[in-house]
Structures are given as structure tokens and as C-alpha cells.
Structure 1
């Protein structure tokens, strides 16, 4: 029997009785082609980020869930992780009512987040080192129309040998033409796992997610990146120490 997509329990929830003001759906990575079931390790890999977001946002009514896919493969036109992300956004409405959703994806999860942004509950997307295979793009450009009206931030390591950072730049460039609220940060000298500047990535993710979902303003670097025209706002360097003194 095929596994079902799921949300499971929130990583951390606001205090009992507190109103939910927004929901973060964290989307793990996966494999280009696979018939195997969901990967527990992929879920565990994004749990530290999910916990950081929950710790920062739960006091203000933020709930954070890690999406469990039906399987670990993208599998060509099936694009299962994207479909599962859309299902999860719909499930948020059933559980929490009409609240804004931010899709936060890493690797293949980044592509799923960008693809699923058209769901009516989604107001923002954070794609970390998104997997955008050149062969797929050669056949048909990755869609960007669904990003209209969303807050969009992409972050990519310049030394990523697994997912080409230039491809995420090209997507951001196309998205910016139809959605001015698009920006992209470059993490200089970092690789696919974004380990070298992990604390800065967590700070950037937290700043963006809380600013998109809660009544907060973005930090100056994020606000400047969103406002800047290309290519500046799409090649914004993530400064060392980001998050230590944001404002």
C-alpha cells in the first residue's frame, strides 16, 4: 500500500489557547527518481531548522510542521513532492482555518515549495539550494507564474556542486519580472548543505519567515534585497555574522 502524505504533530506549537497566526511547512529534499517510500533521514535533516523557526515564532502564534511525502522521488512530470506540498497547504486550512502559510524547502523541497506556491493559503516561499535540474529546464522552463503575489526568497551556496546556483539565479530573474517581491541571497564559498554558514542561514530563514507570516518587519538586508532591482537584489551576498545585529 502506498504511503500517504502527512503533517504529523507540530514541531512546536503556541501555548494552549493561543491563536495560530501562521504556519510554516518545511519540505525536505528527495531523489530525482525513486519508487521507495518517504525518507526518514531527509526529515531529520531539516528538523534543526524547523525547531529554530518554531522557537522563534511559537510565542507569537506560529506553528511549524515538517511535511512527510508519499515517497522520496520527484519522478519526472509526477512531481510528487510539489503535489504533497499543495496537499499540506490544504491540510493547514482544515486544521487551523484561514491562516497564511510559508513553504520552506531545501534541495528538492525548494523546488517543491516554488511549484506549490500557487495554493491560495501560501503567502511566502523560502527555497534553500533548490534543485532545478538543467535537463528538465531544457525541455520546459520551470514555471514562475504561481509566485505572483507571494514573498519569495531564494538562498544558494556559490560552491554548490549538486544543484547549480546559476539555475536558481535564472529562475529568480524570471520571477522578478512578474513579482517584485522576489529576492535571492548568495552564500559565498558554501556548498549544497549550507553548513559553513549555518547560523547565518538560520537567521536569514527566521527573519524572512517571521516577517512574512507575523506582524513584523524584515531586517534591513532582506528589505533591501526585495526592493533592489536585478541583478543586485538577486545576487545579494549573505554577510558573515548575519543575525547578530540585524537592525
Structure 2
């Protein structure tokens, strides 16, 4: 694959907002993502769930297909692909709100891209956020994070540290933890419903649900550990 791919599920009628879904990957690989990779299958399921809930309300959903499966160090290939996707979305739909949703490596990629002008909200699911991951670009942005407390692939402590630093940098952050691991299979409906609600609010189609709104309004590190 010489460039990324974008699988779009068009809204019924005119598009008023776009949600971009970005799946996980691996630390280093220049091979294209496998079609049956669990990270891709799971993110496609989340995207389809959100689309079914909102495509008659002007929301177009897009699933990003990376060029390669790895982050690959300073190349940050997944982040480069998210930037490419945002350019394509702007060219196709104009300047309208875009909600970014990413899992694992995709969570890292959407958090990196969260400062782009058209991004209205970022939803990171079990994001891989190594120590020192940049946060200053998220000042003034709305960021929601959900992480499994039993995640063995990407420890929840990483997103806890990231959330605190992002909040200190001026982002509006709500972080939730949930029983289960990295794959979002246990209590899948809770993961799906969380993303749906955050996307609809970020797209301006619904008010933010009360627990997320309350978490976003609270300040301090103690507010960044809400259990679902």
C-alpha cells in the first residue's frame, strides 16, 4: 500500500460532522496491517456501532487503514497517516468538526493529531502513550480516555500519567477505567456506548453524557480515575 486507505460510511443526507476511527498496531513493522488483525476487526465493530447510531443525523464515519502496521520510532507512521486522513476529510467535506477515535497505537496517533484545527474532540481507548509523549498541543482540547484496569499489553498507568500531564498543559481531560484488558472484548457494549456518546457530543449532535461532562469539569489528578 503506497498510501493509507479511508473506508467511509456516508451519512444519510448532508454530512455535518465526521468521526475518524484509527485501529491499533505494533511497535515496529513495515508490513501492511493484516485484514483479520484483531485490532482492525475490533475498531471496525466500534465504527459500525457508532455509524448505526448516528448516520441519519449527519455523521459520516471513516475507518483509517494504515500503510504499515508499525509506529516505527521517529517515523511515527500511524500519526502521519492520521494527518493524511484529516487532509482528505477536509478536502472532501470542508471545514467541519472531526472527532478522532483511536485504540492502542491508534490512540497514540489521534492524541498526537488532536491539535489539528478541525478536531473537535479526541477519544483514546487503551492508548499507548510512552513517557514523554507530547501534550502541549492539546491545550484547550477535549480529551476522553478509557483504559482496562487489567491491560497487560499497554499498562493503564501510561494513560494515567498522560492524562495528568495533558490536564496540566491545559487540556480538558476525562479518564475512565474499566474491568478487562486491552482488546475491548470484555464488556464490549460499555466500550461501544462510551465511544458513541463521546462522538455524538464531540460532533455537536448531543450534550455530553453526565458522567463524562462531570469528569471534564473537575480539575486535579484525583479526577482522572473514574471507574465504569
Q: TM-score range by the shorter chain?
A: over 0.9
Q: 1:244 matched to which residue of 2?
A: none
Q: Is this contact kept in 2: 1:28–1:67, CA < 8 A?
A: yes
Secondary structure at the counterpart of residue 113 of structure 2: helix
Q: 2:44 aligns with which of 42, 47, 51?
A: 47
Measure, in 2, the Cα distance between the counterparts of 1:73 and 1:82. Answer: 11
Q: 1:130 matched to which residue of 2?
A: 127
How many matched pairs?
A: 226
Residues 85-137 of structure 1 show CA distances to partners (whole Å, capped at 9, x for unaligned) of 0110111011111111111001110000101112211121111001124xxx2
Q: 1:243 matched to which residue of 2?
A: none
Question: How big is the shift at 1:39?
Answer: 2.9
Measure, in 1, the Cα distance between the counterparts of 2:24 and 2:97. Answer: 23
Question: 1 or 2 for the larger relative contact order (CA 8 Å, sep ≥6)?
Answer: 2
Distance 1:95 1:121, change over 3 A: same
Q: Is this contact kept in 2: 1:224–1:233, CA < 8 A?
A: no
**Would you say 1:37 and 2:28 are equivalent positions?**
no
Q: 2:16 matched to which residue of 1?
A: 21
Q: Is this contact kept in 2: 1:21–1:214, CA < 8 A?
A: no
Q: Is this contact kept in 1: 2:164–2:224, CA < 8 A?
A: yes
Q: 1:185 matched to which residue of 2?
A: 176
Secondary structure at the counterpart of residue 99 of structure 2: strand
State the superposition RMSD in angstroms.
1.3
TM-score, scaled relative to structure 2: 0.94
Measure, in 1, the Cα distance between the counterparts of 2:177 and 2:79. Answer: 24
The structure with more radius of gyration? 1
Question: How big is the shift at 1:43?
Answer: 2.6
Q: Is this contact kept in 2: 1:123–1:149, CA < 8 A?
A: no
Q: Is this contact kept in 1: 2:143–2:171, CA < 8 A?
A: no
Secondary structure at the counterpart of residue 232 of structure 1: helix
Question: How big is the shift at 1:20?
Answer: 1.0
Q: 1:211 aligns with which of 190, 196, 201?
A: 201
Q: 1:245 matched to which residue of 2?
A: none
Q: Which runs of 5+ in 1 are unaligned?
A: 239-247
Q: 2:212 matched to which residue of 1?
A: 222
Give 1 or 2: higher strand fraction: 2
Question: How big is the shift at 1:180?
Answer: 4.4
**Would you say 1:92 and 2:82 are equivalent positions?**
no
Measure, in 1, the Cα distance between the counterparts of 2:11 and 2:226. Answer: 33
Runs of 4+ displaced beyond 4 Å: none
Distance 1:39 1:147, change over 3 A: farther
